[in-house]
């Protein structure tokens, strides 16, 4: 069974080993994964460690990460968690292109939507606008076009 460790949990840092890859792109990606999980001062912490995302304890050692993931096909590939609500581990990670990675985001809304329009769980589109700190719900629509048109009407 895989053991995970995340922000605020004690973990043992293993003795340093010499693998000759500390300047490689892959090693830097591995370090960035750990920063997102363990360092609240990083910009992306709120989306990773701050949400409870953890890392396989084995992956605290670079050699284990490398053994499980291998090298990406080339340096343009990114690591992707198949389930964005689950942890970094061999079973949940794979190498993908930047485009593939951009399609696997947490938000329901994968398409760029017009201002005031958001996609809701039902698959429909909700419209609202705000004046100051007050939000006004306009309605829920079947298409983006309908929703955007109603948003524009409400603003005039």
Q: What is the model's pLDDT at position 48?
A: 92
- Could you say which residues of the chain have pLDDT below 50? 108-110
Q: Are residues 78 and 128 in the same domain?
A: no
Residue 78 inside a domain? The answer is yes
Q: Are residues 132 and 77 in the same domain?
A: no
| Model pTM score | 0.61
Q: What is the model's pLDDT at position 64?
A: 93
Q: Are residues 22 and 97 in the same domain?
A: yes
Q: What is the model's pLDDT at position 49?
A: 92
Q: What is the model's pLDDT at position 90?
A: 93
Q: What is the model's pLDDT at position 107?
A: 53
Which domain covers residue 30, as residue numbers?
A: 4-102
Number of domains in the chain: 2
- What HEC string does the chain produce? CCCEECCCCCCCCCCCCCCCCCCCHHHHHHHHHHHHHHCCCCCCHHHCHHHCCCEEHHHHCHHHHHHHHCCCCCCCCEEEECCCCCCECHHHEEEECHHHHHCCCCCCCCCCCCCCEEECCCCCEEEEEEECCEEEEEEEECCHHHHHHHHHHHHC
């Amino acid at each position: 069974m895989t053991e995970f460790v995340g922000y605020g949990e004690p973990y043992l840092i293993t003795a340093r080993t010499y693998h000759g890859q500390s300047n490689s792109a892959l090693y830097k990606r591995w370090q960035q994964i750990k920063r997102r999980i363990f360092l609240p001062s990083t910009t992306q912490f709120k989306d990773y460690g701050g949400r409870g995302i953890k890392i396989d304890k084995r992956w605290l050692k670079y050699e284990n990460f490398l053994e499980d993931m291998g090298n990406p096909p080339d340096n343009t590939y990114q690591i992707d968690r198949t389930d964005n609500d689950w942890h970094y581990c061999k079973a949940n990670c794979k190498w993908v292109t930047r485009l593939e990675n951009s399609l696997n985001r947490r938000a329901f809304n994968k398409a760029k939507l017009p201002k005031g329009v958001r996609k809701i769980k039902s698959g429909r589109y909700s419209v609202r606008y705000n004046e100051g700190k007050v939000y006004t719900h306009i309605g829920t629509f079947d298409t983006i076009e309908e929703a955007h048109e109603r948003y524009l009407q409400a603003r005039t």
